[in-house]
Amino acid sequence: MKKVLIRIAIGLGAVVALFVVVGLLLPSKYTVTRSIETTADADTVYAHVARVKDWTVWTAWTTKEYPDLKFKFQGPESGTGAEYSWTSESTGNGSLKITRTVPDALVEYELAFDGDAMLSYGKFTIEPPDGRTREKTRITWTMSGELGMNPINRWFGLFLDRLMGPDFEKGLKQLAEMSEKEESTPPEQEEPDVDEPGEGGTGDHPAAGDENKKNKG
């Protein structure tokens, strides 16, 4: 019985050692990329990406999907320096800060989960139609990060594209729909002021007064 237990222990040790060694040989970085094309103009898309409050509407991580999400906003409303954070039992805590922008073309950001325990870096590139090979605006969302020397993290990195990809696709789809809807909705037109009778209406209009005088004469 003792020999059997020793063999089992040696076998488990060999499996753990193999897991660690292979894990250390896996990539130390991960990258997730997804793209979509939309009929919306580049400036409309850019505005929704550069404005962090809009992220709570078009991304896959909204209060509609996760009712316990609570958001907090800091810095400018839009562009470089705009930042928001969230707390949630279902999704965990994190923050996102826009670090660089190029109007109508690029938005770069830094993403942190649970403080600075796991940092990721992302960007949106927005390419307008070129009139030749592409007739629509192309949006590309890319995020990457370091997995460190922890073999468990490196093993986990193999599945990140499969885990995060669908959320990127959903977010891009909702971003495109939001931008297209905005452009297809006609702007509200202010109704012209209409004078009420007795308040600068026809009876009080100078021309009407002149006409009345002629009739009296």
What does the pLDDT look like over 87-103, one tens digit per residue? 999 888 999 999 999 99
pLDDT-derived band at 62 (thresholds 50, 70, 90) equals: very high
Q: Is residue 171 within 8 Å of 59, Cβ to Cβ?
A: yes
Across the chain, mean pLDDT equals 82
Quick one: pLDDT at residue 216? Answer: 46
From 138, 136, 106, 109, select the one nearest 124 (Cα to Cα). 106
**Domains of the chain by start residue, with CATH:** 21-182 (3.30.530.20)
Using the predicted structure, report yes or no on whether residue 160 has a pLDDT greater than 90.
no
Q: How far apart (Å, rounded) are the C-alpha atoms in residues 88 and 161?
A: 23
Using the predicted structure, report yes or no on whether residue 181 has a pLDDT greater than 90.
yes
3-state secondary structure of 153: helix
Quick one: pLDDT at residue 137? Answer: 95
Mean pLDDT of the 109-119 span: 81
Q: How far apart (Å, rounded) are the C-alpha atoms in residues 108 and 103?
A: 11
More confident of the two residues 190 and 156: 156
3-state secondary structure of 148: coil
pLDDT-derived band at 197 (thresholds 50, 70, 90) equals: low
Using the predicted structure, report yes or no on whether residue 12 has a pLDDT greater than 70.
yes
Quick one: pLDDT at residue 203? Answer: 45
Model pTM score: 0.74
CB atoms under 10 Å from CB of 197, counted, come to 9
Quick one: pLDDT at residue 117? Answer: 64
Q: How far apart (Å, rounded) are the C-alpha atoms in residues 139 and 156?
A: 27
pLDDT-derived band at 206 (thresholds 50, 70, 90) equals: very low
Of the listed ranges 109-118, 163-172, 190-199, the least confidently predicted one is: 190-199
Mean pLDDT of the 47-62 span: 96
DSSP code for 97: E
More confident of the two residues 182 and 147: 182
Quick one: pLDDT at residue 86? Answer: 95
- Helix 160-184 to helix 42-50 angle (10° resolution) is 120
Quick one: pLDDT at residue 166? Answer: 94
Residues paired with 86 in a beta bridge? 71, 94
The DSSP H or E segment spanning 22 is helix 2-25
